[in-house]
Amino acid sequence: MGMTITEKILAAHANKKEVFPGELIFVKLDFILANDITGPLAIKEFEKIGVDKVFDNERIALIPDHSTPNKDIKSALQSKILRDFAKKYNIKFYYEVGRVGIEHALLPEEGLTLPGDCIIGADSHTCTYGALGAFSTGVGSTDLAYAMATGEIWLKVPESLKFVYYGKLSQWVTGKDIILFTIGEIGVDGARYKAMEFSGEVIKNLPMADRLTICNMAIEAGAKNGIIEPDDITINYVKERAKREYKLYYSDKDANYKEIYEWDVSRLEPVIAFPHLPSNVKKISEISKDIYIDQVYIGSCTNGRIEDLRLAAKILKGHKVHPDVRLIITPATPKTYMQALKEGLIEIFLEAGASITPPSCGPCLGGHLGVLAEGEKAVATTNRNFVGRMGHPKSEVYLANPAVAAASAILGRIGAPWEVEVKK
């Protein structure tokens, strides 16, 4: 019996010829990451181990992206713990404010997460890097502490689910809609501790930004990891970025899957995830035109890349944000911010009446730069809409792609891109 791409990567990193779902294994890690929320706890536990160095100072990234620039004294102390640890152990990939970006956009952009890698991070959306053909998953801070010391971690080999998408996507339909549709079909626990392998002609035609979005939200279905087999689009993305060698893995034709899902998404339209679950999805055509909103947020590790900003700018150009709406836009990395500036996107956003923030996770987790008050409604390009996710427990978050978010900011209510005139 053959192996899936996930099983092959895990077998290689466990120095085994083959592995099987349910098997407990120790794997060697290629890369480890933590942020200013999860990193300090990992550092505290690391210091208890009693070692005098990390396993490899060029295989760890510390990224203060959640509450930076620091919003208060507590967040400043959290960031200082990362900064001091990075200096003490000579961590090469520590990113200070001004150079820092949202971790799951920054690391692929910097060529630090690569095809064939085995990656862990003290953040649930570490599954993002599966878009590059890597095994990547989130872990707890104590597990990360052990990994920083040893370069290893134990894992249970997950069963694999295969998702095959056929057809040609309609205008305004993105990777965000594909993953929201998928979660809507299988539920938030439909892939619990399983590998979600995304494939088919639709996936093969998606740019890397959309692939990263899809794998980013595998965790919203409960998955251990999301993954896409590497191809020419993958190679073209990584070849000029890669900081080290990498290896390509592919699923065998006779690989075993727990279940295979197949969908023709030719008629898929933009979808919205209503509160308070990413699985509570509705087609844009099914939504009433009287859901008025207070805020729109375009950004996050899910949809803050340059392709997302271009899509939003295409809708916003020549329009004004509705007077009752706050539009907050976060370029995911400094390079994305600079590219948006060079392309005139920032000017479009400012002329429309948007507020531009520095790269930060802040609004996504209700940390800062856009916290919701009681009773407020927001359309967001983020990955979660749980109770209180972006602020007050009695606020509401509706998940959408950047085009829908931008159109809604103009309309003052949840609306479709085709309701807004796209100006040349």
**Can you spell out the DSSP letters for 8-42?**
HHHHHHTT-S---TT-EEEEE-SEEEEETTTHHHH
pLDDT tens by residue, the chain, 424 residues: 799 999 999 999 999 999 999 999 999 999 999 999 999 999 999 999 989 999 999 999 999 999 989 999 999 999 999 999 999 999 999 999 999 999 999 999 999 999 999 999 999 999 999 999 999 999 999 999 999 999 999 999 999 999 999 999 999 999 999 999 999 999 999 999 999 999 999 999 999 999 999 999 999 999 999 999 999 999 999 998 999 999 999 999 999 999 999 999 999 999 999 999 999 999 999 998 999 999 999 999 999 999 999 999 999 999 999 999 999 999 999 999 999 999 999 999 999 999 999 999 988 888 899 999 999 999 999 999 998 999 999 999 999 999 999 999 999 999 999 999 887 7
Count CA within 13 A, CB hemisphere, residue 324: 12
Short-list 22, 43, 24, CA closest to 32: 43
Domain spans in the chain, listed from the N-terminal domain onward: 5-263, 275-419
Distance of alpha carbon 101 from the chain centroid: 13
**Can you spell out the DSSP letters for 251-314?**
--TTB--SEEEEEE-TT---EEE-TT-TT-EEEGGGS-TT-B-SEEEE-HHHH-SHHHHHHHHH
Asked if 5-263 and 275-419 have one fold, the answer is: yes
**Can you spell out the DSSP letters for 334-366?**
HHHHHHHHHTTHHHHHHHHT-EE--S-SGGGGT
Q: Which residues pair with 378 in a beta bridge?
A: 295, 397
Considering the segment(s) 275-419 as one domain, its CATH architecture is: 2-Layer Sandwich (3.30)
Tokens 């993958």 belong to which residue?
A: 234
Tokens 């910097």 belong to which residue?
A: 110
Fold classified for 5-263: Aconitase; domain 3 (3.30.499)
